[in-house]
Structure 1
Amino acid sequence: MFYQLYELNHAMMAPWRAAADAMRLAYSNPMNPMAHTYLGRTAAAGLEVFERATRRYGKPEFGLASTMIDSVTVPVSERVVWRQPFCNLLHFERSLPRGRAADPKVLIVAPMSGHYATLLRGTVEALLPTSDIYITDWIDARMVPLAEGGFDLDDYIDYVIEMIRFIGPDTHVIAVCQPAVPVLAAVALMETDDDPLSPSTMTLMGGPIDTRINPTAVNRLAKERPIDWFRDNVIMPVPWPQPGFMREVYPGFLQLSGFMSMNLDRHLIAHKEFFAHLVKNDGDAAEKHRDFYDEYLAVMDLTAEFYLQTVRTVFMDHALPKGEMMHRDRRVDTTAIRKVALLTVEGENDDISGVGQTEAAQTICTGIPDAMRLHYVQPDVGHYGVFNGSRFRREIAPRIAAFQRAHQRRNRPVKGVIRGGRAG
């Protein structure tokens, strides 16, 4: 009933939100003398904070219409090139300057952990000048009818394998956060089968490969509760009239509330500062707040079977680092990975995937030659900074691009890679 009450609350607040927005427009209209007074700006600011705090945030757009290649601005078009009930594959097609060689093909596997793939807008934007980018666009589970069947961690791995094969040879795959485990599993299965389309490189960023190392609050919660507790307390049926009516899901608003509670004081201060910026007519600062929270507060539901299998496999059983992870009836053997170069990236202050959890992939992938592996810890960034922000653009993105170019299969054999940062 909790999900239904949540939806009912949104429906009941709709008239109040509409009224607040209308009053905000009236108070901020330059034709209204009150708009030029401190009292009028205060009223408009309070009404906007109320409206934004009570609205439902829809799926954002990537909005990447162009990029800079060889000092030339070129147009970018976003196109769906592969479809499944629970995921679309987006391709950012660039109009390359005449005579320029093709760039590396890069598949970015976005996290399926409550937020949309647009959370990686900055990641895509930073890599577009040097890479031919594809990205997974996971579908909100409440928008998928029951007739489409279920979707679990095994299906996720199958999707990743299918997308790598679809993109073709010499693909580079990047997993950001949650997908680190299924992407590593997918690559291990492809290498076990000696698949000629296995990727050239695999980059794992801030992912929970082994959550026994430096456990965070998220990891400890999973260890403190039995799986039945999660099934009984966070799994709910999608309410009517959504397309996925009666599908059991882990609602996105629960994930969001968990993330916000970890840094509640920071979010409260941010909204207080947003109010002050509005009153002062500081438009740039206010717009930055809107941009961030339009993305951060837009959440999607996960299927119950995917969520519960992930919690058990990754956070409770630690099946992958123990060598016990199964994909359907097959054991995932990470030692079978031999031809795929491995780059792992962590943030020094990551409070979601602690330092060392992603690096664990280097330990369990024993078949990869030393010349084809690199680990990098980015100083002074948290989880979000591993894949977005100024330090990502300056420090991490160039390392990823250099690593991919050094390890394209057509360039092998490789004699070595210069290690940077806190490499291991």
Structure 2
Amino acid sequence: MFYQLYEMNHAALQPARALADATRIFYSNPLNPVAHTTWGRSVAAMAELFERTTRRYGKPAFGLDATTVDGKTVPVAQKTVWSRPFCNLLHFERALPAGRQSDPRLLIVAPMSGHYATLLRGTVEAMLPHADVYITDWVDARMVPMTEGRFDLDDYIDYVIAMLHKLGPDIHVMAVCQPSVPVLAAVALMEARGDRFAPATMTLMGGPIDTRSHPTAVNVLAKEKGTEWFRDNVIMPAPWPVPGCGRMVYPGFLQLSGFMSMNLDRHIIAHKDFFVHLVKNDGDGADKHREFYDEYLAVMDLTAEFYLQTVDTVFVRHALPKGELTHRGVPVEPAAIRNTALLTVEGENDDISGIGQTRAAHALCANIPDAMKAHYMQPDVGHYGVFNGSRFRAQIVPRIVSFMASHGRGERARAKPRLVRSNGA
């Protein structure tokens, strides 16, 4: 009922938003003399600020039409190469010259934590010059009809395995934040059964492998409240008239509220500065604000079963580091990983996944040779800076590219003959 009231409130504000948008257009029209005054720009700024803060933001586009490879600009075409009800696999196909040596193929597993995969636009953009990039494009749960069934953490792991099978051998996988646990689980299951499609390298970035290490406010809240509290307070049916009406979900707007409340003063100052930029006619400052919040405020719903199972498994029971994680009744054993190289990346000021939480994967993956493991802690960045921004591009990307180049199956075979198991994996 609460979600339905939220939707009704949003619909009731539609006339006010339309009026605000018309006011903005009128007072910012260069043919209107008032638009060139401080008063006119102030009215237009107030109207835009109201419209933006009451709007429902739709799914953004990646908008990556070109990249630079070998110093030359090449076109990029976005294609869907695999699809299931809750996820599409996107390929950013680069138009490279015929005969050019192929780059490593990289599967980026985007977080399913309330934001769309486009939150990793900067990640994809930074990797395109160096790799043949694929990314998981998770679907808003409220847009999936109930006839498509459930989707939980076990299904997430199945999806990752299915995508790795689709892409074939000698693939590299990168998990950003939340998917670090299911990706590690997927690779462990594949290695345990000698699956030849297990990835050549696995890069885990700012992920909650063991949230007992330097717990953050997010970790403490989950541990203190417990799974049942979340079931009783944040799970609700998707409202009419969306395609998934009636599906039990964790609404994206609740997740967004939680994120914003963690740094509320910063968001208030950002919107105040946005108003000032508009009044001063500072187009660059205003455009940067729009670009960031168009992405940040676009949220999606998660299925209740996935959200609750993740909270219980990762944040409450710490099942993976305790050796208690199972997938459809089968134990998940990270020690089974022997042939997939492991790189972990953390941010010094990460307030979502604390220092040491991602690095914990190295202790769990005890049978990966030391020569196939690496860890990097990026100074002076928070959670977002682990996978985006200038420091990511300048200092983290080169390490990822070098790691993939050093530990690709082809490179490894040239350096040292690879042991072949009896089952041919």
TM > 0.5 fold call:
yes
TM superposition score category, shorter chain reference:
over 0.9
Indicate the residue corresponding to 1:243 in structure 2. 243
Identity of aligned residues (%): 72
TM-score where L is the length of structure 1: 0.97
1:206 positional shift: 0.1
Q: Residue deviations 1:199-241, cap 9 Å, x none?
A: 0000000000000000000000011012111101000000100
CA distance in 1, matches of 2:330, 2:377: 33
Q: Which runs of 4+ in 1 moved over 6 A?
A: none
1:192 positional shift: 0.2
Helix, strand or coil at the partner of 2:353: coil
Q: Which amino acid aligns with 2:109?
A: V
Indicate the residue corresponding to 2:324 in structure 1. 324
Contact conserved, 2:226 with 2:312, CA < 8 A, in 1?
no
Q: Residue deviations 1:77-100, cap 9 Å, x none?
A: 000000000000000000112432
Structure 1: gaps spanning 5 or more residues: 416-424
CA distance in 1, matches of 2:115, 2:411: 36
Give the alignment of 1:52-131 within 5 angstroms: 52-131=52-131
Indicate the residue corresponding to 1:168 in structure 2. 168
Helix, strand or coil at the partner of 2:321: helix
CA distance in 1, matches of 2:164, 2:396: 23
Indicate the residue corresponding to 1:422 in structure 2. none
Indicate the residue corresponding to 2:358 in structure 1. 358
Q: Which amino acid aligns with 2:141?
A: A
Q: Which amino acid aligns with 2:300?
A: M
Give the alignment of 1:255-334 within 5 angstroms: 255-334=255-334
CA distance in 2, matches of 1:261, 1:323: 34
Structure 2: gaps spanning 5 or more residues: 417-425
Count of equivalent residues = 415
Indicate the residue corresponding to 1:377 in structure 2. 377
Task: Please report the RMSD computed on the Cα atoms of aligned residues, expressed in angstroms.
Answer: 0.7
TM-score where L is the length of structure 2: 0.97
Q: Which amino acid aligns with 2:49?
A: V
Q: Which amino acid aligns with 2:361?
A: A
Indicate the residue corresponding to 1:2 in structure 2. 2
CA distance in 2, matches of 1:253, 1:113: 11
CA distance in 2, matches of 1:34, 1:119: 38
Indicate the residue corresponding to 1:349 in structure 2. 349
Helix, strand or coil at the partner of 2:246: coil
Indicate the residue corresponding to 2:25 in structure 1. 25
Q: Residue deviations 1:67-116, cap 9 Å, x none?
A: 00011100000000000000000000001124320110100000000000
Helix, strand or coil at the partner of 1:78: strand
Contact conserved, 2:62 with 2:118, CA < 8 A, in 1?
yes
Contact conserved, 2:107 with 2:135, CA < 8 A, in 1?
yes
Q: Residue deviations 1:23-49, cap 9 Å, x none?
A: 110000011110011100000001100
Q: Which amino acid aligns with 2:65?
A: A
CA distance in 1, matches of 2:393, 2:46: 35
1:150 positional shift: 0.3
Q: Which amino acid aligns with 1:123?
A: T
